[in-house]
Amino acid sequence: MISYEPLWKTKKEKQVSQYKLLKSGVDNKTLDALKKGKNITLLTLEKLCSILDCTPNDIVEFIDIETKGRI
């Protein structure tokens, strides 16, 4: 299972608003998908990393459904 919990933490730590993400090219549909834990493209992941000046690990993590632990 994919979790975007690191994204929300990174966004908060770097004080990046949803408005800034929208103005930087992340559309509402993508933000909605992120909030619902749906899949995003690698291009979107790259864009988020660029906007937030971070790595993919700061945006997404994989959770083992059975153990609820990080993979």
Give the pLDDT confidence score for residue 27 in this predicted structure.
94
CATH of the domain at 55: 1.10.260
Give the pLDDT confidence score for residue 48 in this predicted structure.
97
Q: What is the CB-side half-sphere exposure of residue 23 using CA atoms within 13 A?
A: 5
Give the pLDDT confidence score for residue 68 in this predicted structure.
67
Q: Does residue 68 lie in a domain region?
A: no
37 is in which domain, residue-wise? 2-61
pTM: 0.86
Helix axes 42-52, 5-13, angle to 10 degrees: 20
pLDDT digits (tens, 9 = 90+) for 3-60: 999 999 999 999 999 999 999 999 999 999 999 999 999 999 999 999 999 999 999 9
For the chain, what is the domain count?
Answer: 1
Beta-sheet pairing, 2-3 with 61-62: antiparallel
**3 state DSSP class of 13:** helix
